[in-house]
Chains A and B, each alone.
Chain A
Amino acid sequence: AQSVTQPDIHITVSEGASLELRCNYSYGATPYLFWYVQSPGQGLQLLLKYFSGDTLVQGIKGFEAEFKRSQSSFNLRKPSVHWSDAAEYFCAVGTQGGSEKLVFGKGTKLTVNP
């Protein structure tokens, strides 16, 4: 069965610092990978997604993620964090054939210090 692991429950960074959020997945076939962000009281917003091709994916709000098949990872990065990036971040793998559902990790809460 598909699964996603986000090893860091909570990360704190200073504003302007770089950020990397880790994500490891388990899926037998070619994975479809997603990063979503959830602010308090808000729905999930898609940051970026990977289907195939270039392993470095650019997303919204200055985020990028790199797919590494050998490490089963899809880490999210941002070179300079803004206070408004404080939120919870979820990595997900999409399944194909059937319901096209998403399997999510447990999330990483990001705190940004001024």
Chain B
Amino acid sequence: GAGVSQSPRYKVAKRGQDVALRCDPISGHVSLFWYQQALGQGPEFLTYFQNEAQLDKSGLPSDRFFAERPEGSVSTLKIQRTQQEDSAVYLCASSFTTDIAASTDTQYFGPGTRLTVL
């Protein structure tokens, strides 16, 4: 079946531009996560949705970052007035349950969007 898809796969932005990154989770998955992976680093948590509710946005680095999931499926991560330090791969993940302790729960990751800010 289809996995998590993300678009665009690559995005080049000039400093100061706004960008929007899209995530299509696996159909029926309740939980959706955004992570940021800087070059040579592990992914770092940005934000979490349970259906359309954004339950945790503690990882968003500044108020320039905004995420939404209005209908509980597709999600968009928006970055306003991009800065060079925003250059990274942005990963989206989804899972069927809301309980990480459930043996059946697994976070499935998309291929990511590589953002380069010039």
Contacts and interface: CB of A to CB of B under 8 A. Distances in A.
Interface stretch (A13-21, A62-70, A75-83, A104-112): A104-112
Nearest to B92: A43
B19 interface: no
Interface residues of A, number: 26
Contacts of B103: 51
A46 B95 CA distance: 12
Contacts of B109: 36, 43-45
28 contacts: A4-B42, A36-B109, A41-B111, A42-B111, A43-B110, A43-B111, A43-B112, A44-B93, A44-B109, A46-B106, A49-B106, A51-B103, A96-B100, A96-B101, A98-B55, A99-B55, A99-B56, A99-B58, A100-B31, A101-B33, A101-B56, A101-B59, A102-B35, A102-B43, A102-B107, A104-B42, A104-B44, A106-B41
Interface of A: 4, 32, 36, 41-46, 49, 51, 90, 92, 94-96, 98-107
Given A46-B106, A100-B99, 14 more contacts: A43-B4, A43-B110, A44-B43, A44-B91, A90-B42, A96-B99, A96-B100, A99-B55, A99-B56, A102-B107, A104-B44, A105-B42, A106-B41, A107-B41
